Chains A and B, each alone.
Chain A
């Protein structure tokens, strides 16, 4: 899995491939948000581009303590050759054009993020045991 610190905004990014009802996958770099308990949030433009189908909606809590409802779309995500089908929430603010990757999506990976050295390592428990 390709992960890196974005030199422009200094934030950790993870590269994933997403697919909706269209045949081809789209590669996107999403912000890794450790405060995001869901799987994935996608800008509306990405959802349109991949032809994602809306399937559900529900309440989510925001950082300011408020609650709002969001739409969820069925999206296939390819990470390291493995495809995961997730309910991705729609980012309704058109000003935000970057996917947001939550904790659920990366399970069972382990992330080591060094904010000082701007380094991010995503690995599995098995890989980690090999190096210890």
Chain B
């Protein structure tokens, strides 16, 4: 599995993600169901200490808006209404079958 605990946050001097995430999630949930449903699919960037949030059509846009106001802060970012999927090495590409696959990105 991709993300496991074999590399602790403390070892690499990274912020405690669980604590930060709890704070950010409570801010996100306090925005209410109406806000979430009317902005579903957009990205929200939250500065945790102030509770300020910024919306964007992409993750990069939302983070850029937040960093403009809070350049030295670590920003919480998520897609509104859905959690993005990172499959990451879960499905090996050792396809032996003779099928093809087309993707429009």
Contact = CB atoms under 8 A, between A and B. Distances in A.
Asked if A and B are interacting partners, one says yes
Interface of A: 9-12, 31, 33-39, 41, 44, 54-64, 67-72, 85-87, 89, 91-96, 100, 102-117
B105 A64 contact: no
Classify chain B: how many residues form its interface, as a range.
35 or more
A56 B105 contact: no
B26 interface: no
B89 A64 contact: no
Interface of B: 1-4, 6-7, 12, 14-15, 17-18, 20-21, 24, 45, 58-60, 63, 66-67, 74-78, 83-95, 97-105
Given A33-B91, A61-B83, A72-B59, 20 more contacts: A11-B94, A31-B93, A33-B89, A35-B85, A35-B87, A35-B91, A37-B85, A38-B59, A56-B59, A56-B63, A61-B86, A62-B2, A63-B85, A71-B14, A87-B63, A89-B86, A93-B2, A93-B6, A112-B100, A112-B101
Given A10-B94, A10-B95, A87-B60, A59 B78 contact: yes
A106 B83 CA distance: 20
A83 to B, nearest CB: 12
Contacts, number: 174
A1 B76 CA distance: 32
B1 to A, nearest CB: 7
Contacts of B3: 62, 68, 70, 91-93
